[in-house]
Structure 1
Amino acid sequence: MDPDVVSTENLTEVTLDLFTWVEAFVTNLLRPWNAYQLLIALSVFMLAFIISAFVKPRMHDWMRTREGWPKWRMRALVVFHRRLRMVLFVALIWLTVFVMREITWPSRSYLLAIIANLATAWLIIAFATRLIKNALLRGIVRYGAWIWVTLSITGLADETQALLDSAAISFGETRLSLWLVLQAIVIVATLLTVARLVSSTTAATIRRNEDISPSMQVLAIKFLQVLLFGAAFFLGLRIVGVDLTGLAVLSGAIGVGLGFGLQKVVSNLVSGIIILLDKSIKPGDVISLGDTFGWINSLGARYVSVVTRDGKEYLIPNEDLITGQVVNWSHSNEFVRLDIYFGTAYADDPHKVREIAINAAKSVDRVLSFKPPVCHVVGFGDSSVDYILRFWIRDPTGGLTNIRGNVYLALWDAFQEHGISIPFPQREVKVLDGSRLETTSLPD
């Protein structure tokens, strides 16, 4: 017999069984006491809606006064505030079920118990999935769990599973059903969520460990993320029952093809690993690469984020940092020496100028005193004696242009105070005897 014919007959049979169950369920709802229970549940929901409308504004005002609370407690309170109506409904519906079981037969609260179980399960899932930061994963896990608990509580799980499993296509010996696809999506999403939580917790622990260098922290976190997410993906497929042998062969063939087309990407990835291992640069370092000067914000698998003083963020490929000439202002230590040049008139005493310049540099806040500034004469120019003033700072992340500007201002103030002049080129024009200065008017 043709397998497609058998699959179609099974799908039709399961669909008819499911419709029969739904028809019977709807018929039961039309019975008097079941209709009463639906009206009671609707009344409880309206009561919860009215109470929440009264309580939520007052609770919101109270929450705004809790400024000193930890962030995790405030976030939990915000989630509770958003779900207050559902929380009230669950509490009131269970109270109603308990009262009805005490004053009447259990059969007359059977439907209310189902509604209470559904509401409770939905509420727990809503709270639990708030731990998932990724919106897509949170939606997949939340709605998948809501659908599954609804089918389980209402007794439709087996029929729905059979219906979804009957909708399948075959590739040789491999059979791919709709049930298998949905199961894989939910399980893989759940495992990826768990991997994300474990990764975030472990990454925070690694960052707090001061014994590990910043570059090794980034490498350890990246390696841990790849390991956890990869394990979650393949473990999810194995739990569902997908044969990974063919996937391994296919991934090998795809990898060979991608290796030729993604040479730059692979080069940047390998360069990123080398940068992390040799610790040549790390987050917080101040670097210069060509015309780009700034500090490293983060190290990525493909690029390095460099933020400049004017707020621009450059994404520099890792390969450029390996093959190009990079100036790391804070590689081996955090001390940086800066040089500025100036000139004074020939009438000013060079010994006095050097002393005044050194004292002016010392008066600037960021200039280090235990590495004192020095000033030297570097030449005799056309109209000035030329000097170089050298000083040290320890925080290049605070900027270099601004500290140079502050030292120049200190020099200006000191020279004005001590009568030191800063010359500029001057030209004299002499009119020789017997010469005339003629002017011509331009035509209109």
Structure 2
Amino acid sequence: MNQDLLPDSISDLYANMTAAFFSQFQNLIELVVTPGWRQYQIIIIVFLWMLAFCLKLMTQSRWEDWARSRTGWPKWRLRILVQLMRRLTLVYFVILSWGLYLIMQQVTWPSRSYLIGVFATLAVAWLVIALLARLVRNRTIRRIFKWSMWIYATLVALGLTDDVADFLDGVAVSIGDLNITALGILKAVLLIGVLLTLARIGAGAAERGLKSNDDISPSMQVLLAKGIQVLLFGAVFMAAIRTLGFDLTGIALLSGAIGVGIGFGLQKVVSNLISGIIILMDRSIKPGDVISLGDTFGWINALGARYVSVVTRDGREYLIPNEDLITNQVVNWSHSDRFVRLDLDFGTSYGDDPHKVRAAAIRSVKTVNRVLSGGKHEPVCHITGFGNSSVDYVLRFWISDPTKGLTNIRGNIYLALWDAFQSENISIPFPQREVRLLGGESDDADGQQLAKE
């Protein structure tokens, strides 16, 4: 643009933009009220929209039946199909308007199809923007993206982008050598939104690809996925700063000074972050492992940057800081393999044959589901001592699915032992106490003497 033609102030920019809008509005009014092909085009556009709506009513049920039969399609394709079904009128209007516009460009003067081309272009832009907006999960950001892109598409179709850009570029704030304009902020916001969406999609695709690779351990999958996320979102942050025009050298010095102060106040947070990296690198725990930490028993649901998600059998989800898993003793029931040995203590009467008791116990435990048998996983039963009222035993058995619970398997084995001992006439003793009530005059006198003392 020629520098001599640039406006001298923001008021001049606003006046120029207002004049451009007013001129376009006048042209639109003239298109509506002036007889001729301009009015005909508006009537044709209204007719095309009504025809598109009628086609939607006539074919919507058939499209829905066809969409329900696409059961083998990928999820992303089904989501696009659902969005198109919701905007079926707009889809028909795009097809009809563009078809008619291309035909009229060949058989009539181009000016006689100008309005049809503008509305056809706007319809395509609105449809594409509506589909792309579904990639943004946050509802507020999605609405901002949708409306901003619709406004931009409308300005492009009406030829007003240069006037609006000149006005926004003239609205600026100067801070030293830094000059921030409204146009630069809008460009930065749009760029950040697009890059954040692409970064999220890329990080999700990388995470899914890592999870499908069986050659990489689960802990390394999480570590690589977190690293990719940090790189992608870090690149977005740097691009945003560069777009706004900040000097990265000054920011590096400032961030170093601020980082020292923040580090003292966020020691626990930093400790959890470092502990999380250590856990991922040494692979001491990984998603799916069954662990015990204090009174918490459950399996690892997810490994986060600050905490580990542990789900217990009762459905509760505990968020345990990574530092606790590094500094405290953790029982990993499935660290090296998935096999777990459990011990169950019981006792029988001295009148029962110990050989018979051991054989009955081993037979009964083998009838319980989830209990392994054979080889080194064969259940065993040993005498552990002679108690005050019973012979004490320990029954040892193996399972391969600790995630299904430990209390329930112990309960089932106790029931199996009860049934086996009942059928074999093996008794389970319990402590008995005998209370004697002593009567007589001498006893009463002794009691009274003790009461006086």
CA distance in 1, matches of 2:387, 2:412: 25
Q: Which residue of 2 aligns with 1:316?
A: 320
For residue 393 of structure 2, the aligned residue among 387, 398, 404 is: 387
Alignment of 1:327-342 (within 5 A): 327-342=331-346
CA distance in 2, matches of 1:143, 1:72: 24
Q: Which residue of 2 aligns with 1:26?
A: 28
Q: Which residue of 2 aligns with 1:52?
A: 56
Alignment of 1:142-153 (within 5 A): 142-153=146-157
SS at match of 2:92: helix
Q: Which residue of 2 aligns with 1:348?
A: 352
CA distance in 1, matches of 2:48, 2:234: 47
> 1:98: Cα distance to partner?
3.5
Alignment of 1:101-250 (within 5 A): 101-102=105-106, 104-239=108-243, 241-250=245-254
Find out whether 1:375 has 2:381 as its counterpart. yes
Q: Which residue of 1 aligns with 2:414?
A: 408
Q: Which residue of 1 aligns with 2:3?
A: none
Deviates more, 1:322-331 or 1:254-263: 254-263
CA distance in 1, matches of 2:153, 2:21: 20
CA contact (8 A) 1:191 1:233 kept: no
For residue 290 of structure 1, the aligned residue among 289, 294, 315 is: 294
CA distance in 1, matches of 2:92, 2:46: 13
CA contact (8 A) 1:188 1:237 kept: no
> 1:434: Cα distance to partner?
5.3
CA displacement, residues 182-212 of structure 1 (integer Å, 9 cap, x when unaligned): 1101011111211222212121111111111
CA distance in 1, matches of 2:221, 2:427: 54
Find out whether 1:15 has 2:22 as its counterpart. no
- What TM-score, normalized to structure 2? 0.89
Find out whether 1:80 has 2:80 as its counterpart. no
SS at match of 1:367: coil
> 1:59: Cα distance to partner?
2.3
Q: Which residue of 2 aligns with 1:426?
A: 432
Structural RMSD (CA): 2.4
CA displacement, residues 327-383 of structure 1 (integer Å, 9 cap, x when unaligned): 111112222111111111111111111111112112222112131112111222222
CA distance in 2, matches of 1:241, 1:42: 47
For residue 43 of structure 2, the aligned residue among 22, 39, 53 is: 39
CA distance in 2, matches of 1:137, 1:209: 33
CA distance in 2, matches of 1:170, 1:138: 31
CA contact (8 A) 2:178 2:246 kept: no
CA displacement, residues 290-324 of structure 1 (integer Å, 9 cap, x when unaligned): 11110000000010000000000000011111111
CA gap of 1:190–1:140, structure 2 versus 1, over 3 A, is farther
CA distance in 1, matches of 2:200, 2:102: 40
SS at match of 1:128: helix
CA contact (8 A) 1:137 1:193 kept: no
CA distance in 1, matches of 2:22, 2:74: 54
Gaps of 5+ in 1: 439-444
Q: Which residue of 1 aligns with 2:370?
A: 366
Aligned length: 434
Q: Which residue of 1 aligns with 2:451?
A: none
SS at match of 1:383: coil
CA distance in 1, matches of 2:62, 2:312: 46
SS at match of 2:180: strand
> 1:126: Cα distance to partner?
2.4
CA contact (8 A) 1:203 1:221 kept: yes
Deviates more, 1:145-154 or 1:190-199: 145-154
CA distance in 1, matches of 2:67, 2:14: 55
CA contact (8 A) 1:121 1:149 kept: yes
> 1:419: Cα distance to partner?
0.8
CA distance in 2, matches of 1:96, 1:328: 69
CA contact (8 A) 2:285 2:335 kept: yes
CA distance in 1, matches of 2:384, 2:317: 38
Amino acid of the structure 1 residue aligned with 2:265: G
CA distance in 1, matches of 2:137, 2:18: 41
> 1:245: Cα distance to partner?
3.3
Residue identity over aligned pairs, in percent, reads 58
CA distance in 2, matches of 1:54, 1:435: 110
CA distance in 1, matches of 2:237, 2:346: 64
- What TM-score, normalized to structure 1? 0.91
